[in-house]
Structure 1
Amino acid sequence: MKRKIAAIFAADIAGYSRLVAEDEEETLRRLASYRSVVDDFIAKAGGRIFNTAGDAVLAEFPSAVDAVRCAIDIQESLRTRNMAYPPSRQMSFRIGITIGDVVERDGDLLGDGVNIAARLEGLAEVGGICVSRAVHEQVANKLSVQFADIGAQEVKNIPTPVHAYMVAMRREDGSYSTPQVKKPGAKPAPAPNWMWPLVVAVVSIVAIGVAGFLYFTKLEQTSTAVATSSPPPAATAAAVPSAPATPATTAPSPAAKAPASTPTATPTTNPTATAAASPTPAPSSPAAAAKFPADQVPFVGERARAYLTNEYSAAGDSKAFALNIGGFVGYALNQPNEDAARSAALDQCQKRADTAQSPRRCEIYAVGNNIIYAHGRPPMPPQPWVRVDPMTQRPFASKDVPMVRDQAKARLESFVPAAKSRAVALGPGGQYFMVVGTATIDEAARRALESCGAFAGGACMIVAVDDNFTVPIPSALRVTGFFHAASNPSIIADARDDVVRKLGEAMGWNAVAVGTAGRPGLGLKAADEQTAVNGALAECAKRDSDCHVIAIGPFTVGPIN
């Protein structure tokens, strides 16, 4: 064993047990992804991870400056990643850092330095960093970082208080937060002795008032029951005189007034209060009873839809939801009014989109539970969206994506190394949209088709999933567009339905050829492109003259220039 002085870094995930309980598989997958980010930053900063357990990470650094700079980089990187998830599913680390004398044994570090770092991590805000005074003294004049002094903190199993500082983390707008931490162990000051007689007197007066109110209320109820021969006392409060009461003579109770006068009142009502205001129970308002149609929301992932189904739908009316066609979202719940909800949701969505450099602007999709999105649902192709055919499937290569300009193909090079599940949708005019890192292929395909369709103005096609093309990509001829046999003018009208039927049943490579009279020839279920082309030309030549190929797979084709 040997002793040394080291900067100790401790981190773990806030609310990790809850995240695992809600969705174990997804949480573990994301933990591995986030840990790779953390490990990479630690290695680049010259640190060494000496212990891990579950979601916790312990590392040592040669200097406090390196440790704090690394912690800031980690938190800012993970904050950006978390923007893709609703607040309830975000995975945020707390980080604590100290300088201490530690003992090294078989590569592990032991001692008070490690324990204090772990306790500081527990004091940190979610997504924040807490450091000891020793660390603050080392980095205060070396890094352009703001700190908040939270004073001496009493922490578990450490005999003396630890003086701690919180690092002010940068917000999405570039400003810095001001941490507010309640000191553990701080107890409210006892009330001065002179206040006790005053408290006793106030309590006594209130008690006398309540007793008097209850007595006269009981007396009034008894008199009303005798004079009107009303139902039992439980129903008397809901009874009304035989003459219809007008608003001028019968005022509803305060509980019944609250929902009408307060915009932020919850949609549920008190049955007793409702009965007191009217002889018949008031029906629930449509806005309160309606379930937000989360399954209709385009562009977003299933996690966002689940949040809309549960948290958003159950919240009060003063709320709003914003999105853009890239799948970025913003939520605002329990706002003072609808205008505030609109502004907050739109601002949150746009900040997330700007951080990811999304070129599309955010728009308000819903206010309350009412959809106000002006563009409706994007055009979608019929299902199935993905057809896996081993005969035509081959590895994805961005250079082979048809109809896409070279500059756009360069951007598609990031598709293969991205996280699974992923999909590329291609539009009829060469537009495309890729979605990566989703839970399932179905989700990736849906989102890619929705986003692609929204800016293409027409139904798109899934051309790649994960590592492979899912449709045959012609190479013998140039792709010029999508092939729709039912409306293709090159094919005579009375033959189109037959072509549609035969192509719909055929897997493998397929080709269509026509002659001067528009009589089609089909090459179906071929093992390769050239065989399909030869078969289509041969069949066409039996019915027509001057035959040429007009389609290969799902694409129209023409001569290569």
Structure 2
Amino acid sequence: MKRKIAAIFAADIAGYSRLVAEDEEETLRRLASYREVIDDFIAKANGRIFNTAGDAVLAEFPSAVDAVRCAIDIQESLRTRNMAYPPSRQMSFRIGITIGDVVERDGDLLGDGVNIAARLEGLAEVGGICVSRAVHEQVANKLSVQFADIGAQEVKNIPMPVHAYMVAMRREDGSYATPQLKKIAKPAAAPHWMWPLVVGVVSVVAIGVGGFLYFAKLETGQVKSTAASSPPIAVPSPSPTPAMAAKASMSAPMPTSAPTQMAAATPMPMAPAESNGKFPVDAVPFIGERQRSFLSNEYSTAGDYKAYALNIGGFYGSALNQSTEEVARNAAVDQCQKRADAAQSPRRCEIYAVGNKVVYSHGSPPMPPQPWVRHDSTTERPFAPKDFPMLRDQAKTRLENIYAVAAKSRTVALGPGGQYFMALGATSVDDAARRSLESCGAIAGSPCMIVAVDDVFVVPIPTLLRAVGFFHVATHPSIIADARDDVVRKLGDGMGWNAVAVGTAGRPGLGIKAVDEQSAVNGALADCGKHDRDCHVIAIGPFTVAPTN
């Protein structure tokens, strides 16, 4: 036997026994699939699995930084895989990490370090990560990760409380979820001599409170409430308010020089359906076809009281056959928010409909004109996260860990300010495209475009220059006003490789329907040089471009 210091990683499935009891074969099959993901991440992070038992995984890492980074990658990847399943069938892990002195015997590790990691795993939230203070001290200034200090925790079979921290998991928009604080270790018991005093004080207070309540009841017992019962008002989400759809051509979207924060748009409410009329199923945004089928077959035909809630991330909740309208509202929002919280969605749920009447105040999300996806063998190429335009490295990593491994059909929609949204595991490409465009449009406040479908880029992706925004011919300041309509007409349907160049006088030159990017660029520069000087390329495909440096 030999001793060593190691970062110990412990993972376990939350509610594993229930999952097995409900469907053993399917649970074991998915466990094997999820274990492949976990094992691969651990190996890539220089970790070593030293023990497994059922649904548990124990691994060691040479550093706490490697262990925490690996745990975050695992949780983000598995969270996305879970989105294809209903909440009751999602397979979520808890992970605990500590640094400790362990004993190695025949490849296995033993000691307090292993035991503490297992206890920290039990403290973690479902889909979350809990680490010891030693780990926090090692990684706090080395990883862009936020922590919530939950203080000293009493854990089973460990004599001293363990000071622990929750890792705040990153959401889709780059913000962080706030972990729920666990119960802090109990303070030392009060001396025995204090109990008579405490009992006496409590008794006196109880007598005083009882007398007050008795006389208060006498004064108010005959008063009847005259306030009419009214349903609670849906509180607007702190997310940006989506605007109504703006008429915009996908061949000429609004330009932007860098990712920017969206200004709140003025909401324009939908025309609500009559409370006793047919529920407008086809108008409900953000949801997939399976949920739309539920609305058609079950929600629409159910009697009052009922309510439906959703958020722009595509999470939903419903309540049917409730005792009152208020109960239905609260139950629908609560169900939706639990689903959103379980997936760490940053968006709040709101009431969409009460009965068959739409009460959602934000209107329809801005959408581009159809077709949303146009296939062109000249410009399509295999999807590669590192080449995705206008996104930061952090977002590209998410695409690699989440989108690239997710079930089909899947799409990524991109907004003019660098906003993006992934729709995964949809029933069809059209369903995935609609959902990603609706959610992206609601976040961005303007129409987005589909950049990737399954494993293919479906728009021209510049490689010679850097994409910095959407190219909107009609308002681009580099092109003189009297030439813009002609550029729009010549670009036409936007098929093939297209490039636009301008010179000092703002006279545009075009390279249209070229067979490759370089040919389009050369054609645009040559055309511009015929009637202007010092020409440079300002657009390739649907993107405004700038030098790579």
Q: What range describes the TM-score normalised by the shorter chain of this pair?
A: 0.5 to 0.7
1:540 and 1:10 map into 2 onto residues whose CA distance is 65
Partner of 1:417: 405
Partner of 2:475: 487
* Aligned counterpart in structure 1 of residue 302 of structure 2, from 315, 336, 339: 315
5 Å-filtered alignment, 1:66-145, equals none
Partner of 1:36: 29
Q: Which amino acid aligns with 1:367?
A: V
Partner of 2:426: 438
Question: In the superposition, relative to structure 1, how do residues 288 and 82 fare at CA in structure 2: closer, same or farther (>3 Å)?
Answer: farther
1:493 Cα shift? 2.4
1:287 Cα shift? 4.7
SS in 1 for 2:513: strand
1:357 and 1:533 map into 2 onto residues whose CA distance is 43
Counterpart contact for 1:330–1:348, Cα < 8 Å? yes
1:343 pairs with 2:330? yes
Partner of 1:271: none
Question: In the superposition, relative to structure 1, how do residues 428 and 13 fare at CA in structure 2: closer, same or farther (>3 Å)?
Answer: same
Question: In the superposition, relative to structure 1, how do residues 337 and 555 fare at CA in structure 2: closer, same or farther (>3 Å)?
Answer: same
SS in 2 for 1:314: coil
2:510 and 2:34 map into 1 onto residues whose CA distance is 57
* Aligned counterpart in structure 1 of residue 493 of structure 2, from 473, 486, 505: 505
2:480 and 2:471 map into 1 onto residues whose CA distance is 15
5 Å-filtered alignment, 1:9-28, equals none
Question: In the superposition, relative to structure 1, how do residues 465 and 494 fare at CA in structure 2: closer, same or farther (>3 Å)?
Answer: same
Partner of 1:390: 377
Counterpart contact for 1:80–1:355, Cα < 8 Å? no
1:308 and 1:362 map into 2 onto residues whose CA distance is 17
Question: In the superposition, relative to structure 1, how do residues 360 and 465 fare at CA in structure 2: closer, same or farther (>3 Å)?
Answer: same
1:501 Cα shift? 2.3
Question: In the superposition, relative to structure 1, how do residues 91 and 291 fare at CA in structure 2: closer, same or farther (>3 Å)?
Answer: farther
Of the structure 1 ranges 485-494 and 289-298, higher mean CA displacement relative to structure 2 is found in 485-494
SS in 2 for 1:327: coil
1:544 pairs with 2:537? no
Q: Which amino acid aligns with 1:405?
A: R
1:366 pairs with 2:353? yes
1:416 and 1:297 map into 2 onto residues whose CA distance is 28
Counterpart contact for 1:401–1:409, Cα < 8 Å? yes
1:36 Cα shift? 3.2
Aligned positions, number: 324
1:544 and 1:538 map into 2 onto residues whose CA distance is 10
Q: Which amino acid aligns with 1:458?
A: S
Partner of 1:357: 344
SS in 1 for 2:300: helix
Partner of 1:520: 508
Counterpart contact for 1:83–1:352, Cα < 8 Å? no
1:483 Cα shift? 0.5
1:43 Cα shift? 11
1:504 Cα shift? 2.5
2:500 and 2:34 map into 1 onto residues whose CA distance is 55
SS in 1 for 2:469: strand
Counterpart contact for 1:86–1:303, Cα < 8 Å? no
1:478 and 1:412 map into 2 onto residues whose CA distance is 19
Partner of 2:450: 462
Partner of 1:407: 394
TM-score, scaled relative to structure 2: 0.53
TM-score, scaled relative to structure 1: 0.52
1:309 Cα shift? 1.6
Counterpart contact for 2:500–2:511, Cα < 8 Å? yes
SS in 1 for 2:362: coil
Question: In the superposition, relative to structure 1, how do residues 511 and 35 fare at CA in structure 2: closer, same or farther (>3 Å)?
Answer: farther
Unaligned runs of 5+ in 2: 1-17, 38-52, 58-77, 92-155, 157-179, 181-229, 231-272
1:489 Cα shift? 2.3
Partner of 2:438: 450
Instruction: Using the aligned pairs only, state the percent identity.
Output: 67
Partner of 2:417: 429
Counterpart contact for 2:390–2:469, Cα < 8 Å? yes
Q: Which amino acid aligns with 1:560?
A: T
Unaligned runs of 5+ in 1: 1-8, 15-30, 45-65, 71-77, 94-142, 144-172, 174-262, 264-285
SS in 2 for 1:505: coil
1:498 Cα shift? 2.2
1:401 and 1:288 map into 2 onto residues whose CA distance is 45
1:486 Cα shift? 2.1
Counterpart contact for 2:19–2:27, Cα < 8 Å? no
Question: In the superposition, relative to structure 1, how do residues 82 and 316 fare at CA in structure 2: closer, same or farther (>3 Å)?
Answer: farther
Question: In the superposition, relative to structure 1, how do residues 559 and 521 fare at CA in structure 2: closer, same or farther (>3 Å)?
Answer: same
1:313 Cα shift? 0.8
Counterpart contact for 1:423–1:434, Cα < 8 Å? yes
SS in 1 for 2:340: helix
Question: In the superposition, relative to structure 1, how do residues 513 and 326 fare at CA in structure 2: closer, same or farther (>3 Å)?
Answer: same
CA shift digits 1:191-231 (9 cap, x unpaired): xxxxxxxxxxxxxxxxxxxxxxxxxxxxxxxxxxxxxxxxx
Question: In the superposition, relative to structure 1, how do residues 470 and 303 fare at CA in structure 2: closer, same or farther (>3 Å)?
Answer: same
Of the structure 1 ranges 418-427 and 399-408, higher mean CA displacement relative to structure 2 is found in 399-408
1:322 Cα shift? 0.7
1:82 and 1:547 map into 2 onto residues whose CA distance is 51
* Aligned counterpart in structure 2 of residue 531 of structure 1, from 519, 526, 531: 519
Counterpart contact for 1:13–1:92, Cα < 8 Å? no
Counterpart contact for 2:84–2:424, Cα < 8 Å? no
CA shift digits 1:342-366 (9 cap, x unpaired): 1100110011111111111111111
CA shift digits 1:247-275 (9 cap, x unpaired): xxxxxxxxxxxxxxxx9xxxxxxxxxxxx
CA shift digits 1:400-426 (9 cap, x unpaired): 111111112111112111100000011
1:556 pairs with 2:549? no
2:352 and 2:449 map into 1 onto residues whose CA distance is 25
Question: In the superposition, relative to structure 1, how do residues 401 and 67 fare at CA in structure 2: closer, same or farther (>3 Å)?
Answer: closer
Partner of 2:209: none
SS in 2 for 1:453: helix
1:80 and 1:441 map into 2 onto residues whose CA distance is 18
Q: Which amino acid aligns with 2:500?
A: V
2:457 and 2:36 map into 1 onto residues whose CA distance is 36
Q: Which amino acid aligns with 2:290?
A: R
1:379 and 1:494 map into 2 onto residues whose CA distance is 29
1:487 Cα shift? 2.1
2:317 and 2:437 map into 1 onto residues whose CA distance is 21
Question: In the superposition, relative to structure 1, how do residues 490 and 423 fare at CA in structure 2: closer, same or farther (>3 Å)?
Answer: same
1:517 Cα shift? 2.3
Q: Which amino acid aligns with 1:37?
A: R
SS in 2 for 1:538: helix
1:289 Cα shift? 4.2
Q: CA RMSD in A?
A: 3.8
Question: In the superposition, relative to structure 1, how do residues 489 and 324 fare at CA in structure 2: closer, same or farther (>3 Å)?
Answer: same
1:11 Cα shift? 7.5
1:495 and 1:41 map into 2 onto residues whose CA distance is 56
Q: Which has the larger radius of gyration?
A: 1
Partner of 1:167: none
2:412 and 2:21 map into 1 onto residues whose CA distance is 35
2:19 and 2:467 map into 1 onto residues whose CA distance is 56
